Amino acid sequence: MDLSGLNAPQREAVTTTEGPLLVLAGAGSGKTRVIIHRLAYLMQKRKVPATSILAVTFTNKAASEMRERAVKLAGLAARKVTLCTFHAFGAEVMREHASKLGFPKKFAIADMGDQVSIIKRAMRERNVDDRAFDARKVLSIISRAKNSRTEPQPKPEGQGDDYDLVAHLVFPLYQLALKAQGAVDFDDLLLLPARLFAEFPQVKKQYTDRFRYLMVDEYQDTNAAQLELLVHLSGKDKNVCVVGDDDQCIYSWRGAEVRNILDFERHFPGAKEVRLEQNYRSTSVILDAANAVIAKNPARKDKRMWTETLGGAAIQSVVAPDENEEARFVAFQIKKAVGLGTPPEDIAVLYRTNGQSRPIEEALREVGVYYEVIGGQEFFDKREVKDVIAYFKVLANPLDQISLLRIVNVPARGIGDVTLERLSSFAQETGKPLWDVLKAAHEVPDLPRGAAEKVAEFCVLMEKYRAQYEKGHLGATTRALLAEIQFADAARASTHSMTAADKKIRAVEDLISSLESFEQKEGARARLMNYLHRLSLDTREEEEEPERRGNVTLMTLHSAKGLEWKLVFLIGLEEDLLPHSGMQGEPPNPEEERRLCYVGITRARDRLVLTRAAQRVKRGKAVPRTPSRFLQDLPEALVEVVDLVGETVAPEPEQQTKFFAGLREKLKAPPKPPPTGG
DNA sequence: TGCAATATCATTTTT
DNA sequence: TGATATTGCA
């Protein structure tokens, strides 16, 4: 086991294997390296079996990257380490023990759409005007309460808004509705295993006996429920190693408690603490800028990040007339950098909100640079994709009323609103699941013979395919199902343009191929519900590592955490955008926004470009914008200001040269040949 | 019942 | 502005 490549604190973090350990790892301090080496050290030096190690990361992407690197360092044994997110771990526990808590073995995981529908329904039931209150906002209150191990409470009389009251009223119904559908939500994937461990000592023992060594990455973003789970899992030996950086806590809106990392010693008495303060990633220019921004936050663990890479390119601060010019500037700069030899995969454009990617995408297409947008929801937002997934859900879980209602008449098969209304109210009256009522439609009073007939046909169809899916062959069965219901024809008919129809059909094709590659990986064990679980736990759309090579990366600051690029564009440095002003009603959190900006700055290795627009089109109207306060916090000596207001980034090829000539002068860059067209 | 035009209305981040 | 909800019409 070679530890010579590590510095002293890194080595200490790797070799301290017994008892609780807090590793405070600043941005770019080689945190992942430490985790990987620690895994290898545990297995090789301490002879800990891989199966006794549980390593938890924040995203699935991080987990699979970590596994890959661990295998490289420690060999194939590392494959047997349990390496996943808290939520995936919780789902695993639930798959084994769901019935102990009264959930079906094949429980479903409710997605956001399901949750919102349930809440809307519950609001109506409580006589709350479901148009006056945004169900998603109610959901976020409920979710935050659950993650903090509490229940939503109404604010004292006159204080605060009515949302807390609505959430309080709706909460019990929401919980009941989930259970009635045999479903859990994301938060339950943490809460229910914790309850399981608390109520069933033998279940807890099963896990504490197995996992003797725990590691948690991104500990600053864990919430109360995750802490509880961790305390349970840590058993008697308390071999818990958590790694994190309080300056990078950016998920408090999801219940993350910076206090978890600040109070680690209190939760795990006798904990050791190691600080990693040397930055191996960025130039000192970039690091100094980052330090200047984050220093303005009160109440942090006082870390002093330093680097041996002194100097570096100045940070550019660019003002463009509007968001389109901002995007074009970024695109041309990227084109130029690529022309000068920077590989596209070493470049990223980061932004606060997903919506900001659009102008950038257009501009990059204009200059012919390939890119990949990470995150966003577009794929799952396609109606056809949602429809097919709803079919899956009903086939895997007949209790899923919401999905059933969604697809019972998709494609149109003559089961209209009137019929459905009658069926659901009959279900309500008799307390039977809707699916059972459908199967016995002829027993429902006041239902016309024709309607009952169509419902019966639908049931036959579903029963037939449910049996098919039970046997496996997920992909083939899906194709058969979609062919039988003439899904493609319906999609085509629902739109006039061929290309729009093609896109829809392609999206469904992509879904099927993702199902098929899941099937390939799981082999004969592949079942529909497991696929659905994976879909909801792993938001990465494509199976294979998305083509990072040759592509510039576009993503939000939140998804950028933990990643790095040679050249980073951080766009939209404007008040109300970064720092974001938050949803109205919700108080803004300027400290968290500052940490977010810090995360963005520290993603850059060599060069950082900060851009903003003087005005931005919002709701169709041009709105003047104020520069972000964070720009003011940068030491002047590190920054080069570029003012593009009143100029247009040239769209025509012959003007590009001219534009770059002008730009070179502005940036006082050494003369270089203009980029090749292309 | 199904479709198309019209009205409305939002606006953060993600497991 | 652009996506979705709702209404109105065939």
Closest CA to A408 of A428, A434, A383: A434
Are the beta carbons of A283 and A601 closer than 8 angstroms? no
| CB within 8 Å of A511: residues ≥ 6 apart | A385, A388, A389
Amino acid A672: pLDDT: 34
Residue A655: pLDDT above 50?
no
Give how far Cα A368 sits from Cα of A339, A671, A678, Å.
12, 24, 7
Concerning whether A325 is annotated as a catalytic residue, the answer is no
Query: CA angle A401-A145-A585, nearest 5°?
Result: 95
Provide the 10 A C-beta neighbour count for residue A85. 22
Angle between the A474-484 and A383-396 helix axes, to the nearest 10 degrees?
110
| CB within 8 Å of A327: residues ≥ 6 apart | A359, A360, A362, A363, A571
Residues packed against strand C, CB within 7 Å: A 131, 381, 617, 619-620
Residue A336: pLDDT above 90?
yes
A492 strand B contact, CB < 7 Å: no
Concerning whether A218 is annotated as a catalytic residue, the answer is yes
Average pLDDT, chain A: 86
A500 strand B contact, CB < 7 Å: no
Range scoring the smallest mean pLDDT among A69-73, A151-155, A470-474, A499-503 = A499-503
Are the beta carbons of A6 and A14 closer than 8 angstroms? yes
Residue A122: pLDDT above 80?
yes
The string of DSSP letters for A618-660 reads ETTEEEE-PBPHHHHTS-GGGEEEEE-TT-----SHHHHHHHH
Mean pLDDT of A566-589: 86
Distance A15 CA to B12 C1' (A): 40
3-class DSSP assignment, residue A374 = coil
- Report residue A580: phi and psi, to 5°: -75, 145
The C-alpha atoms of residue A252 and residue A581 are separated, in whole angstroms, by: 15
Q: List the catalytic residue out of A130, A218, A519, A541.
A: A218
Distance A546 CA to B11 C1' (A): 29
Residue range A482-503, pLDDT digits in tens: 888 887 777 666 655 556 667 7
Provide the 10 A C-beta neighbour count for residue A545. 12
What does the block give as tokens for A216?
């948690």
Amino acid A43: pLDDT: 94
Q: List the catalytic residue out of A335, A386, A603, A605.
A: A603
DSSP letter, residue A458? H
- Report residue A390: phi and psi, to 5°: -60, -40
Looking at this protein, which amino acid is placed at residue A82?
T
The C-alpha atoms of residue A150 and residue A460 are separated, in whole angstroms, by: 44
H/E element holding A478? Answer: helix A474-484
Amino acid A606: pLDDT: 95
Amino acid A652: pLDDT: 43
The C-alpha atoms of residue A56 and residue A221 are separated, in whole angstroms, by: 12
Q: pTM (2 decimals)?
A: 0.87
Q: Name the CA radius of gyration of chain A, rounded.
A: 27
Distance A268 CA to C3 C1' (A): 49
Residue A160: pLDDT above 80?
no
Residue range A423-458, pLDDT digits in tens: 888 888 888 888 898 888 888 877 778 888 888 888
Residue A666: pLDDT above 90?
no
Residue A634: pLDDT above 70?
yes
Mean pLDDT of A618-639: 90
The C-alpha atoms of residue A410 and residue A423 are separated, in whole angstroms, by: 17
User: Please, what sign has the CA dihedral across residues A245, A539, A357, A581?
Assistant: negative
- Strand B neighbours among A 328-357, CB < 7 A: 352-355
Percentage of chain A with pLDDT > 70? 90
